[in-house]
Amino acid sequence: MFLWASPQANGPFSHKMHAPLKMKCVQCHTQADKAERAGFPPLAQCKVCHTEMGERTIPSQRLYEIRDFVVFSHARHVAAAKLECAACHGAVYEQAVLKVERSTAMKACMDCHREHKATLSCTACHELGQ
C-alpha cells in the first residue's frame, strides 16, 4: 500500500490528485453499483494511506442532489443499465475541483431516457401522492 503520511491531507479532496492511484470509483463510493445512494468513504479509509490525517468532514459539500420526491437509484443505472459514472458525472479524475457535469433537472433525465428508450412515465420517477 502506498503510504502518504505527510502532508496531513486536511485540505480539500481532489479526485485529480488521486487519479494516478487508479482506484476504482466503487472503492470509495462503495454502494454505487448496489444501492440507491453511491455513498461516501469513511474517514478510516483515507487514513489507510494518510496515517497522520486529522478529523475532517466528508463530504465537505454536496454537488449532485435531487429532492426527495424523485426516485433515483444508482444500482439501476450502474448495474442494470450498465452506464459509466462518467455518463452523468463526467471525467471526475481530470477535475481538481468537481463541478456538475450533467444537470439533475428533469429535462436532463428525460433526454437520456429518450435516447436509451427508457421510461418517460411520470410515476416511474415520482411516487404518486408525494
Helix (H), strand (E), coil (C) string for the chain: CCCCCCCCCCCCCCHHHHHHHCCCHHHHCCCCCCCCCCCCCCHHHHHCCCCCCCCCCCCCCCCCCCCCCCCCCHHHHHHHCCCCCHHHHCCHHHCCCCCCCCCCCHHHHHHHHHHCCCCCCHHHHCCCCC
Binders of ligand HEC: how many residues, by CB under 6 A? Answer: 74
Q: Which of 7, 51, 52, 54 binds ligand HEC (CB under 6 A)?
A: 7
Is residue 125 near ligand HEC by the rule CB under 6 A? yes
Question: What is the footprint of ligand HEC within residues 20-79 (CB under 6 A)?
Answer: 21, 23, 25-29, 32-33, 37-41, 45-46, 48-50, 58-67, 70-72, 74, 76-78
Is residue 98 near ligand HEC by the rule CB under 6 A? yes
